[in-house]
Structure 1
Amino acid sequence: MKIRAVNCMIDWLEFSVFGMTEIDVLKLMGINELIFDVKRGFYYERVLSYENIVQVSSGLKGNDSDKHEHIHVRLTGKGCRLLEQFYGTDDIRTEIRCRFILNEIKVSRMDIAVDYSMKFVIDYFHSALNKRLNGVKSIDHAGNFVSGLTLYLGSRKSEKFFRLYEKDFETGDFVNYKDRLELVLKNEYATFEMLNENLLIKIVSTYMNDIVWLEDDRRMLWSEMKNGQCEISPKIRHKKTTLKEKRDYILNTYGKTLKASAEMYGTKEITSAIHESVYSERDLRMIKNEKVINVMKYKKEAKKRDLSQRKVIDELKYHKGIWLDRPVYENGEIVRYEKQFVQQLEPDRDKLNQLSILAELNSEVG
């Protein structure tokens, strides 16, 4: 029997809304009538929580909080299902996107879950642990054969990874559930896929293309689990290869975390970790390449400047001329003078040489 996708949905969604107040976000989401528990969070001064499945946080902590003030919304899987029922839809992503279409939002995490008609986790388990696949650098697992297995393809700290687990064991419902595959996207990936029009199942299938199993039966099963594909932003897919790109990525992604850590625990450990770090061959190669890249950029800019200067000089040579006072006549009389640029082209040297030779010959004949 061929495996097929039974259900595809958002199973976790976190996003931040900028330029709006807490009450505006609640009203726009249509949940301002819910009764929330009010508490304090680690990163936020005020957290509204409804059964821990819907949270709306405000008052970002930190010295620069005014510059990055936003309202943060977190929906668990149950929270997504609750709002879908409330909105009368089966697509929470499209509903949220439409409600905040005129606002600036950033999605920090989005999990897309696909339930399948057959068990498959155990099929991939041994192959993954023995690294008989390409496309991921980190592989991890959790659980056991009694409580259910979970397999992670990709680092859980990365911007995207897959989680494969036995959903029937987790829920205790062995009739309606089999195994589930989840694609976890963060930050740029999550924001891009949240705002585009691609179907969820196609998004998952496209990211599945990154993983190639080395065994024929695993590769065939993985292919059967896909359902179409879509384009992924070239900007996001661009690998950060230079030292500057990696630095910018770290600052943009983890800058706030580092700041919060520095305010809470100080900078001694961070500074110590930097000074005590030992360069690998790859790091040294990257530093050397960065210097080469900078030299190449300088040479390229210098070449552009030289070329630009040569063009200016050529233009001056070609358009070299003089300003003359040109009389302006009215009724046959000069009423004023206007400046006029008269172009003087450089003489044709070859033609002058030919004329001089002819002149000499004529003089000799004469």
Structure 2
Amino acid sequence: MFIGDCETLANGLYLSVDWLSFTVKDGMSYLDVVSYFGLHMEDFQIGLNGRYGYKSRIQHSIYPIHVLYDGNDDMGVHVDVSGSAVGYFLNAYKEKKTCDMTPFGELSYSVESFDSTVLADLLKDIMDKGQLTRLDLAVDDFGCNYYSMEELTNIFNDRLYVSKFKKWKLDLEKGKSGTTGHTIYLGKRVSEIMFRIYDKTLEQNSKKGNEVNDNPWVRWEIELHKERACAVALYLISGNTLSSATIGILANYLRLIDRDNERDSRCSTSEKWNSFISSISKLSLYQTSPEKTLEEKKEWLMKQVAPTISAIYRIDGDLSFIYDLIDNGSPRISAELRHLIQRALEGALYDA
């Protein structure tokens, strides 16, 4: 069974899933969650301080896997899986789902579709049992066959790019021995999508100390949160490839150009950029919000407004304030609400 968390393109770029964060909210304890995804409690350090509002946390002794629990009743159990741990986590999940020996003397893995991957199965399982909160996709350019960080910095300084992101930021970290970090950010950390491009060799050397690696290596990372992460997960669950998701997002949000027109949007795409994205089509993550129904608006009123109205009723002792609300709101009913009213009335007549 194909794991699906990495892929090498024909142009030499290496793609991978670099982070998974999710919350399980179906009543499972942290012990249940650890076991369900194929992990073992004896591999974890226990009794650690929590984070993100959770009081408690356990951490895998070798891999960067954190399980947080003991939060409010509606917080469930949260799991963070980062970097090198993603492959380990997927293999543990695969082994958990691997059945006993078949009549032919082999192990089998239960799948819903022969086109599926372990990654797609895991993402579906996560979304069935809770909520995916973060998904990072990485593109590694080993050997800097396309862009060095210095070249990219010049490209952005010279505005030789078109992007959906309004701003970019350069972050240079300095140490006693010189530059220890070189990163370009596109987008904001608080948003649902952000790009991070950095010198991976510098990052590794800053951690290893005396073990210097001279091999050039630039990494492009797409950090996705909440609805954007879920949109990509559904795209992968539907049978699409990691390359069409990762490079498709890059191509949709960024285009490097040649300055052959005064207007950026009319400039030709750089041939190197065309080679970098390997003719993969753009992937838009934009999703139109579904039209709110009257029932949903009633539910919102019940949850958000009802306590305040109840308090006012207790003070006034009558419903005069409610009648004032109705009178005041009637001339201000929007076109959207009139449409919902008309549709509800037509439905009532049809049912009659």
Q: TM range, normalised to the smaller chain?
A: 0.5 to 0.7
User: Residues 83 and 169 from structure 1, CA distance in 2 versus in 1: closer, same or farther, beyond 3 angstroms?
Assistant: same
Distance 1:74 1:12 in 2: 8
Partner of 2:64: 53
SS for the counterpart of 1:44 is: coil
Distance of 2:20 and 2:202 partners within structure 1: 24
Which of 123, 130, 145 is the aligned partner of 1:97? 123
Following the alignment from structure 1 to structure 2, what is the Cα–Cα distance between the partners of residues 308 and 45?
49
Change in Cα spacing, 1:136 to 1:303, as seen in structure 2 (3 Å) is same
Q: Distance in 1 between matches of 2:94 and 2:213?
A: 28
Larger CA Rg, structure 1 vs 2 = 1
The match for 2:186 among 153, 167, 171 is: 153
| 1:108 shift after superposition | 1.2
Match of 2:258 in 1: 215
Q: Which residue of 2 aligns with 1:334?
A: none
CA contact (8 A) 2:143 2:215 kept: no
Change (3 A) 1:178 1:302: closer
Native 8 Å contact 1:202 1:229 kept in 2: yes
Please tell me the residue identity of whatever aligns with 1:14: S
Alignment match, 2:138 = 113
Q: State the secondary structure of the residue aligned to 2:43.
A: coil
Alignment match of 1:296 (pick from 308, 332, 335):
335
Preserved CA contact (<8 Å) 2:22 2:78 = yes
Q: Report the Cα distance in structure 2 between the residues aligned to 1:198 and 1:190, rounded to whole angstroms.
A: 15
Q: Which residue is 2:46 aligned to?
A: 37
Following superposition, the deviation at residue 174 of structure 1 comes to 4.4
**Alignment match, 1:225:** 276
Q: Deviations over 1:109-168 (max 9, x none)?
A: 111111114421322212324544332112112125832421111112210011111112
How do 1:187-202 residues align onto structure 2 when only pairs under 5 Å count? 187-195=226-234, 196=237, 197-202=239-244
Q: Does structure 2 retain, via aligned residues, the 8 Å contact 1:164–1:180?
A: yes
Aligned match for 1:75, one of 56, 78, 81: 81
Q: CA RMSD in A?
A: 3.9
User: Which residue of 2 is the match for residue 23 of structure 1?
Assistant: 31
Distance 1:11 1:297, change over 3 A: closer
Cα deviation for residue 192 of structure 1 reads 2.6
Q: Displacement of 1:233 after TM fit? A: 5.3
In structure 2, how many angstroms separate the alpha carbons of the residues matched to 1:149 and 1:185?
21
Matched, 1:163 2:196: yes
Q: Is the 8 A contact 1:4 1:116 kept in 2?
A: no
Q: Deviations over 1:190-229 (max 9, x none)?
A: 1232242322221121212222334358733332222424
Q: C-alpha distance in 2, partners of 1:142/1:293?
A: 50
Query: For the Cα contact (< 8 Å) 1:129–1:139, is it kept in 2?
Result: no
Q: Against the structure 1 CA distance between its residues 141 and 302, is the aligned structure 2 distance closer, same or farther, given a 3 Å change threshold?
A: same
Give the one of 14, 18, 22 matched to 2:21. Answer: 14
CA positional deviation for 1:188:
1.1
> Contact 1:83–1:92 at 8 Å: present in 2 too?
no
The number of residue pairs the alignment matches comes to 253
The change in CA–CA distance for 1:23 and 1:294 in structure 2 (over 3 A counts) is same
Q: Structure 2: which amino acid aligns with 1:77? A: G
**Conservation of the 8 A alpha-carbon contact between 1:154 and 1:160:** yes
Is 1:4 the counterpart of 2:11? The answer is yes
User: Separation in 2 of the partners of 1:190 and 1:104?
Assistant: 16
Contact conserved, 1:58 with 1:70, CA < 8 A, in 2?
yes
**Aligned positions of 1:132-281 closer than 5 A:** 132-134=160-162, 135-143=164-172, 146-172=179-205, 174=213, 178-195=217-234, 196=237, 197-208=239-250, 209-215=252-258, 219-227=270-278, 228-229=280-281, 232=284, 235=287, 238=288
Give unmatched runs, 5+ long, in structure 1: 241-247, 252-291, 313-366
Using a 3 Å threshold, how does the CA distance of structure 1 residues 306 and 118 change in structure 2: closer, same or farther? same
SS in 2 for 1:171: helix
Seq. identity, %: 19
2:126 and 2:138 mapped to 1: Cα distance? 24
C-alpha distance in structure 2 between counterparts of 1:305 and 1:110, whole Å: 40
Q: Cα gap change, 1:124/1:27 in structure 2, threshold over 3 Å: closer, same or farther?
A: same
Match of 1:128 in 2: 156
Is the Cα contact below 8 Å between 1:80 and 1:92 reproduced in 2? no
Q: Find the aligned partners of 2:333 and 2:54 in 1 and give their Cα distance.
A: 41
- The 8 Å contact of residues 47 and 58 in structure 1, kept in 2 or not, is answered as yes
